[in-house]
Structure 1
């Protein structure tokens, strides 16, 4: 299996050093580059072509939210937001900007490893420790999906959305519903279209925000 190539973005060398020690080759990662601020990200992405960008949100010149927005506009690689426990508003802003998920800096190493692998697979990862609080900020933002959008989903699509919201992978959804992964991907594509959401992270937000799945 090919290693997941990762670009680290954090203005603290100590943090980047810690991330390097966690995201090791033996766990399937290759650190291909590092940035000390958000304004360095576009050039680093163009140079290194990473599979995932692990992005701090608080930086001096260009913050992580704006850097993630630029990545999304340029159809860049998925970004995993990395921040501290009290950054709920920043995390909800990161989701709106297009982050594929978020994980806290004080999370166990195993959780960061799971999160980066999930994002590399095209999935989403929302740290359950703060999901409910972050979504309270997200739902206050303009442009949230309408409350009746779920009425347009079939029963099977609702099943898939519930499992997405619970953090299940495509393989786990396929096993649970006894369908193929190709069928799961087809359901997910239709869910995105019907709910007018752009990605899996936004679908998870929708699932929590509209009671399809309850925060733990």
Structure 2
């Protein structure tokens, strides 16, 4: 990643996030602004690889900008950085296309590591947020078409659903209360039954089978 936009109205928080992004992604160019108006002006003339957006701002909501970025800058990786940890803000942001959701009350080193995880294909989610999202997917009713067509067990379908939504082995282990080795064993069986060789192909099959939305 070469460039990042930070939208945060509090000066201390803005500088703090600037330092975190710079530490997590060395050499990245950062523009930090305090209003939707300023952010929109920059987006009109600049492409950003990463956008870190607050939700509550003096001139509106960061979710408004989130929708704009997803519509006109599809390659920008958008992460909400906020103090709000309720379901209303979380799931609204994810529905609108946020690829990460970080709470600003975490230790600096944890936020740095979560942003570094983007390059490893790990969505940056604060632990409490990840648990809430994973519980949500865990309680989604199993797809009858999937089990009947592929022979996946209900547990394997749960694992497939989480894999297809971008979660790593550690997160799946936490959500389903099983060991990492058990997650790995289920994943191996899923790949074998779906006749795929990796997560990307498994995700496409999950969409085709209706396990997750395309």
TM-score by length of 1: 0.66
Q: Which moved more, 1:108-117 or 1:154-163?
A: 154-163
Structure with greater Cα Rg: 2
Report if the CA contact (8 A) 1:8-1:33 is conserved: yes
Gaps of 5+ in 1: 140-144, 199-216
Q: Compute the displacement of 1:112 (Å).
A: 1.6
Q: Are residues 146 and 27 of structure 1, via their aligned partners in 2, closer, same or farther at CA, if it must alter by over 3 Å?
A: closer
| Structure 1 Cα separation of the partners of residues 54 and 84 of structure 2 | 13
Q: Are residues 26 and 158 of structure 1, via their aligned partners in 2, closer, same or farther at CA, if it must alter by over 3 Å?
A: closer
Q: Which moved more, 1:102-111 or 1:114-123?
A: 114-123
Report if the CA contact (8 A) 1:32-1:50 is conserved: no
The CA RMSD measured in Å over matched residues stands at 3.8
| Structure 1 Cα separation of the partners of residues 134 and 146 of structure 2 | 23
2:89 alignment counterpart: 90
1:96-115 mapped onto 2 (5 Å cutoff): 96-115=95-114
Q: Compute the displacement of 1:186 (Å).
A: 1.3
Residue of structure 2 aligned with 1:68, choices 66, 77, 81: 66
Flag the structure with higher helix content: 2
TM-score by length of 2: 0.67
2:116 alignment counterpart: 117
Gaps of 5+ in 2: 171-179
1:52 alignment counterpart: 50
| Structure 2 Cα separation of the partners of residues 160 and 146 of structure 1 | 12
2:213 alignment counterpart: 197
2:175 alignment counterpart: none
